[in-house]
Amino acid sequence: MLAAGLLFACAMLAACNPEQSALHPAGQDAAELANLFWFMTAGGALVWCIIMGSAIYAVLGSKRPRSERFADRFVFIGGVAFPTVGLAGLLIFGLALLPNWAEADTPDLQVQVVAEQFWWRLGYEAADGSQVATANEIHLPVGATAEFVLTSTDVIHSFWIPSLGGKMDAIPGRTNVLRLTPTKPGVYRGVCAEFCGPSHALMAFPVVVHEADAYAEWLETQRQPATAGNGEAFIAAGCGACHVVRGISEAGSVGPDLTHFASRRTIGAGTMLLTPANLADWLVAPSHIKPGSRMPSFATLPDAERQAIVDFLLELK
Ligand code: CUA
C-alpha cells in the first residue's frame, strides 16, 4: 500500500505544470525551498517508518518480558533524545535558508509592484533612469537579483512566482520587499496567493526570464511610446479614461497601462491568452469572464467600432 501511495504521489507531482511549480526550481530561492521540501519529506518518511516499525514490533514482536532498564532507555531515546536531535537539526537547516539581505549586494534591478483587484501594476527603471509603466507581465534578466517593491491599493494580495522563490504579501499602506534571482531562462507563471475577492484565482501573470541582452531590448521597447496608428475608436469609446497608451492617451490611471499591450501574452492578468477572438470577447463581457473586474462592458458599441478598438490594441506591440 505504501508503494502504491508513493507511486500515486510521484504521478501527481510529475503531472504538475513546471511553469508554476516550486518543485521545478528556476531560481536560487526556489532551489533552496525545493531542497528543504525533499529533506523534510525524506525526514518525515523516515520518522513515519520508525514509528510504524515500533508499533508493528510492539504488536507482533516477542512476548517475553522486557527489563525495566530497557523500557526506560527506549522511552528516553525514542521520546527525548531522538526528537531533540531531529528537531534541532531541522531548525538549523531551516534557519540557514533565511534570506540574509544585509550582506547581499544591492539588487541588480528594482520592479515596483502594486497589486490591485485583480491585476498587477508594474514599474521598471529604464537605462536612462526614467520610469516605465507596464502591467500583468514580468520580464527579468537571468542571473540578476531583482528586488520587487510590493504594495496594494485595496486589500491584501500576495505575490508569488513558485518557480523562482517564496511569496510576499502586498499590503495597503505598507511596502514589502522580495528579492528573487532567476537561474534559468524561460516562461513561468506567477499568481496572487492570498484570497482577495471573486477573481483572486484570475490574478496571475506570465514571468519571462531572458538573457541579459534580450531583457535590455524588451525594456527599451517598453520605454518607447506607442507607435500604433489610429487610436480614434479607443478614445471615442472612452477607454482612455482608465487606460494609458503613452503617446496617444495619457490621462487614465484606473486600469492597466496598455502602451505595449500586444507584446503581452495574456488578457486580464493571465485570465486568457491574448488572441483577437479572446480580446473581442473580453470587450463584450469582461465581468462575465472575470467577476469583480472594474472593466466595463462594451457590448453596446457597434461591432465595427469594437473591432476598430481590437485592431488598435493588437497594433500596440
Ligand atoms: Cu489578489 Cu488574490
Consecutive H or E run containing 91: helix 82-95
Q: Is residue 78 part of a domain?
A: yes
**Is any ligand 1 atom within 6 A of the Cβ of residue 196?**
yes
Nearest to 133 by CA among 213, 209, 248, 246: 246
Query: Which amino acid type is present at position 121?
Result: R
Q: Is residue 74 part of a domain?
A: yes
Instruction: Give the nearest ligand 1 atom to 201 CA.
Output: 2
What CATH number should be reported for the domain holding residue 271? 2.60.40.420
Q: Is residue 253 part of a domain?
A: yes
Instruction: Give the nearest ligand 1 atom to 200 CA.
Output: 2
* Domain end point (choices 73, 95, 117): 95
Q: Is residue 129 part of a domain?
A: no
Q: Is residue 108 part of a domain?
A: no
Spacing, Cα 307 to ligand 1 middle (Å): 31
* Domain end point (choices 65, 95, 125): 95
**Is any ligand 1 atom within 6 A of the Cβ of residue 122?**
no
Spacing, Cα 17 to ligand 1 middle (Å): 20
**Is any ligand 1 atom within 6 A of the Cβ of residue 157?**
yes
Three-state secondary-structure class, residue 158: strand
**pLDDT at position 78, please?**
85
Sequential pLDDT tens for the chain (317 residues): 555 565 555 555 555 677 888 888 989 889 988 988 898 899 889 989 988 998 898 888 777 777 888 888 888 988 899 889 988 988 888 888 777 665 567 889 999 999 999 999 999 998 888 899 999 999 999 999 999 999 999 999 999 999 999 999 999 999 999 999 999 999 999 999 999 999 999 999 999 999 999 999 999 999 999 987 778 899 999 999 999 999 998 888 899 999 999 999 999 999 999 999 999 999 999 999 999 999 999 999 999 999 999 999 999 99
Spacing, Cα 198 to ligand 1 middle (Å): 9
* Domain end point (choices 95, 119, 144): 95
Tell whether the torsion through CA atoms of 163, 126, 119 and 290 is positive or negative.
negative
**Is any ligand 1 atom within 6 A of the Cβ of residue 194?**
yes
Residue/partner pairs of 12-20 with CB below 8 Å, 24 or more apart: 17/189, 18/163, 19/163, 19/186, 19/187, 19/188, 19/189, 20/162, 20/163, 20/188, 20/189, 20/190, 20/191
Q: Is residue 286 part of a domain?
A: yes
**Is any ligand 1 atom within 6 A of the Cβ of residue 115?**
yes
Q: Is residue 51 part of a domain?
A: yes
Spacing, Cα 161 to ligand 1 middle (Å): 13
Which residues have CB under 8 Å from 93's CB, separation 6+? 36, 39
Q: Which residue has the cell 537571468?
A: 142
Spacing, Cα 189 to ligand 1 middle (Å): 14
Neighbours of 60 (CB within 10 A): 8
Total domain count, the chain:
2
Q: Is residue 8 part of a domain?
A: no
Residues forming a β-bridge with 191 = 160, 204
**pLDDT at position 7, please?**
52
Spacing, Cα 193 to ligand 1 middle (Å): 6
Instruction: Give the nearest ligand 1 atom to 155 CA.
Output: 1
Instruction: Give the nearest ligand 1 atom to 194 CA.
Output: 2
Shortest-distance Cα residue to atom 1 of ligand 1: 157
The domain of 269 spans 232-315
**Is any ligand 1 atom within 6 A of the Cβ of residue 203?**
yes
Which residues have CB under 8 Å from 43's CB, separation 6+? 86, 90
Spacing, Cα 192 to ligand 1 middle (Å): 4
Tell me the pTM.
0.85
Instruction: Give the nearest ligand 1 atom to 157 CA.
Output: 1
Which residues have CB under 8 Å from 9's CB, separation 6+? none
**Is any ligand 1 atom within 6 A of the Cβ of residue 207?**
no
